[in-house]
Structure 1
Amino acid sequence: MPKQVVPDAARQRRRRTKQGTVLSHRLIVETALRMLREHGSAGLSARRLGLALGTDASTVYRYFRGMDELTLAIADELISAAMADWRATGDWLADLRDLGLRIHAAYLTHPQAAVLTANRVSGRAHEVASDEAILGALRTAGFPDPSAARIYHAFIDQTLAFAALDAASLALPAAAREADEGVWQATYAKLPAETHPHIAATADLLVARMNRSAYPAALDMLLASARAELAALQGE
Structure 2
Amino acid sequence: MPEPQRIPVGRKRRRPTRGGTVLSEELIVTAALELIEAPGGRALTVRRLGAALGCDPSAVYRYFANTDALLLAVADRLIGESLEGFTPGDDWTEALREFATRVHSSVLRHPRLAAVRASRFTAGPAEYQAVDTGIGILLRAGFPPADAVRHYHVFIDTVLAHAALDAEVRDLDGEQKERNGRVWSNAERSLPADSHPHLRAVLDHLPAMADSAFPDTLDLLLAQFRARLPQ
TM-score (norm 1): 0.84
**Partner letter of residue 229 of structure 1?**
R
Question: How many residues get paired?
Answer: 225
Give 3-state SS (helix, strand or coil) of 2:63's partner: coil
| Shift in Å, 1:136 | 0.7
Structure 2 counterpart of 1:92: 92
Q: What are the within-5 Å matches in structure 2 for residues 60-209 of structure 1?
A: 60-186=60-186, 188-194=187-193, 195-207=195-207, 209=208
Encode CA deviations 1:189-224: one digit per residue, 9 max, x unaligned.
Answer: 5333513232233334232x2333211211111110
Structure 2 distance, partners of 1:204, 1:83, is: 38
Work out whether residues 33 and 113 of structure 1, in 8 Å CA contact, stay in contact via their aligned partners in 2: no
Give 3-state SS (helix, strand or coil) of 2:135's partner: helix
Structure 1 distance, partners of 2:182, 2:15, is: 53
Change (3 A) 1:109 1:49: same
TM-score (norm 2): 0.85
Give 3-state SS (helix, strand or coil) of 2:62's partner: coil
Structure 2 distance, partners of 1:206, 1:118, is: 28
Unaligned runs of 5+ in 2: 1-5
Encode CA deviations 1:67-107: one digit per residue, 9 max, x unaligned.
Answer: 11011112211211111110121221111111011111111
Structure 2 distance, partners of 1:182, 1:57, is: 48
Give 3-state SS (helix, strand or coil) of 2:185's partner: helix
Structure 1 distance, partners of 2:175, 2:50, is: 32
Change (3 A) 1:61 1:184: farther
Give 3-state SS (helix, strand or coil) of 1:15's partner: coil
Change (3 A) 1:13 1:95: same
| Shift in Å, 1:13 | 4.2
Change (3 A) 1:124 1:206: same
Change (3 A) 1:30 1:175: farther
- Computed over aligned residues only, the root mean square deviation of the Cα atoms, in angstroms, reads 2.6
Structure 1 counterpart of 2:7: 5
Give 3-state SS (helix, strand or coil) of 2:23's partner: strand
Structure 1 counterpart of 2:16: 15
Structure 2 distance, partners of 1:13, 1:204, is: 64
Unaligned runs of 5+ in 1: none
Structure 2 residue 24 is the aligned partner of structure 1 residue 24: yes
Change (3 A) 1:47 1:102: same
Work out whether residues 76 and 122 of structure 2, in 8 Å CA contact, stay in contact via their aligned partners in 1: yes
